[in-house]
């Protein structure tokens, strides 16, 4: 565990910092929105990756994002970042490819209308797909 992870865990009520056995992940953190995700670098993706058995789903979706971006963004970069997908460089074309891939693989409809915040937030995307496939 790094000093920063320990400091982050101390600064967040209810959070605990876990050691090297689980990659030094801060747990007990619920990401409320983009501002919270930006406040703790990588926390949003780690929360999505570790939430309720969704780690396999998070890894699959991160891989799908990488594929949709023609490899310009790696799955590891998606999993490690708390930034929005657009900030990571996911283009509108890549987003359309991702929507098609998610709909085909998981039989989950992703609607472009109404703002669809889950289309620009990896943790929200994982949660959205997880809720509709569980």
Q: Each residue of 44-70: pLDDT tens digit?
A: 444 444 444 458 999 999 999 999 999
pLDDT at 116: 85
Alpha helices, H only, the chain = 3-11, 34-39, 43-50, 55-68, 75-80, 85-88, 92-106, 122-133
Residues with pLDDT less than 70, the chain: 1-54
- Report the alpha-carbon distance of residue 58 to residue 52 in Å, rounded: 11
Token readout for 24 is 């030094």
């Amino acid at each position: 565990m790094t000093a920063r992870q320990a400091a982050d865990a101390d600064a967040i009520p209810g959070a605990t910092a876990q050691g090297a056995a689980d990659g030094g992940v801060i747990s007990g953190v619920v990401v409320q929105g983009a501002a919270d995700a930006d406040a703790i670098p990588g926390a949003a993706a780690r929360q999505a990756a570790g939430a309720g058995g969704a780690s396999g789903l998070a890894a699959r979706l991160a891989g799908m994002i990488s594929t949709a971006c023609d490899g310009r963004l790696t799955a590891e970069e998606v999993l490690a970042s708390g930034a929005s997908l657009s900030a990571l460089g996911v283009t509108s074309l890549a987003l359309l490819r991702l929507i098609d891939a998610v709909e085909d693989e998981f039989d989950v409809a992703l609607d472009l209308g109404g703002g669809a915040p889950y289309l620009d937030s990896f943790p929200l995307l994982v949660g959205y797909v997880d809720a509709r496939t569980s």
